[in-house]
Amino acid sequence: MNKGEQKRQVIFDRFVKNRNSLIDNGFIIGEKDVYLCPICKGVYHSINGDNPLTLEDAPPKSLGGKAKVLTCKKCNNIAGTKMDSYLVNRLKDLSNQSLPKGKEIPIEMIFNDDIFKGTFKINNDGSAEVKSSRKNNNKLRLDEKMKKIKEGDMHKIKLIENRIDFNKVKYALLKTAYIMAFEKFGDLLLFDSNFDVVREQLLNPEKRIYPQDFCFASPYEDKIDGVNIIMTEGIESILVQFELKYEDINRRLIVFLPCMINDIFSITREISTKKQKKFYNISNNNAGYVNNIDGVKLLYNWIKRRKKIK
């Protein structure tokens, strides 16, 4: 078994053990000794197969994330190509827009009648360099243009940005939050129908299924990084906070997920009526609920009490 396989096996065993204990204690019903892909709920008796279980990073690895759970290869591919890639490109654009010293940033040089590709760089001494290469442009046209440029001519340059689908950027954030929540709650989330809408959204990034206003720049400090429960009555929900890092850029975000008490539509409706996105009654159980049956019991007692009040 190589290192990657070993890591996948450890995660597999951890969640299978947790699932068995949730079934034995009557919290969920279903087949024992299996791992379910948290996105499509595909059933696995081992880590390998035609559509094997793969490491899923949350946040994406290139944005500072780590592998915490397994998803099937199919779901992992959809997440990578149809959601995470847009999020990564967005961070790359933000990094370029901040014009970090010493970095060559792709640009378009706009002359009155022509556009050429090039790069822009701010040197450490504060001077700036604009370069165009004959490789990326029509050589003859570029040579012709360079001959004609006179001192004092004004030209524009424009940063080249990636094509971003902002809905998919949001769904990538939703996926990161959901994977982090699954790492904390395990199969309890698979059994909670309020989460069906999350899974449906992640399986169908081309459609709009999840309500739109579920993620925000974080108003909180880093001490609540991770998966939290909002205990405030009426908006009981799961709040996931994480930081994305790319070169000199970092962004701390919060994402709202449903919980067993409220569905996400009623939660986002409640949130939209509040001017401040700061809710003080936040609980963070650092231990998590995977293989912590006493923690699950306490959680369920709280859920039962809240449901009675409603």
Query: Which two three-digit tokens encode residue 194?
Result: 């309020």
Residue 190 CB-half CA count within 13 A: 24
Shortest Cβ distance from residue 260 to Zn ion (Å)? 23
Q: How far is the CB of 79 from Zn ion (least distance, A)?
A: 9
Query: Which residue lies nearer to Zn ion by CB, 182 or 256?
Result: 182
Distance CA 206, CA 103 (A): 34
Beta carbon nearer to Zn ion, 72 or 190: 72
Burial of residue 61 (CB within 10 Å: 0-12, 13-18, 19+) is: middle
Shortest separation between residue 75's beta carbon and Zn ion, angstroms: 3
Instruction: Using the minimum distance from each CB to Zn ion, give the nearer residue, 202 or 290.
Output: 202
Long-range contacts of 52-56 (CB under 8 A, 24+ apart): 53/8, 53/12, 54/8, 55/4, 55/7, 55/8, 55/11, 56/179
Minimum CB distance to Zn ion, residue 39 (Å)? 5
> Residue 127 is which amino acid?
S
User: Cβ neighbours of residue 190 under 8 Å, at least 6 residues apart?
Assistant: 28, 36, 38, 41, 182
- Shortest reach from residue 140's CB to Zn ion, in Å: 52
CB of 72 to Zn ion, least distance (A): 3
Q: Are 5 and 47 in contact (CB under 8 A)?
A: yes
- Residues in contact with Zn ion by CB under 5 A are 37, 39-40, 42, 72, 75
Q: Look up residue 265 and give its amino acid.
A: F
| Closer CB to Zn ion, 39 or 109, in the complex | 39
- By beta-carbon proximity to Zn ion, the closer residue of 75 and 215 is 75
Cβ distance to Zn ion smaller for residue 22 or 190:
190
3-state secondary structure 98-132: CCCCCCCEEEEEECCCCEEEEEEEECCCCCEEEEE
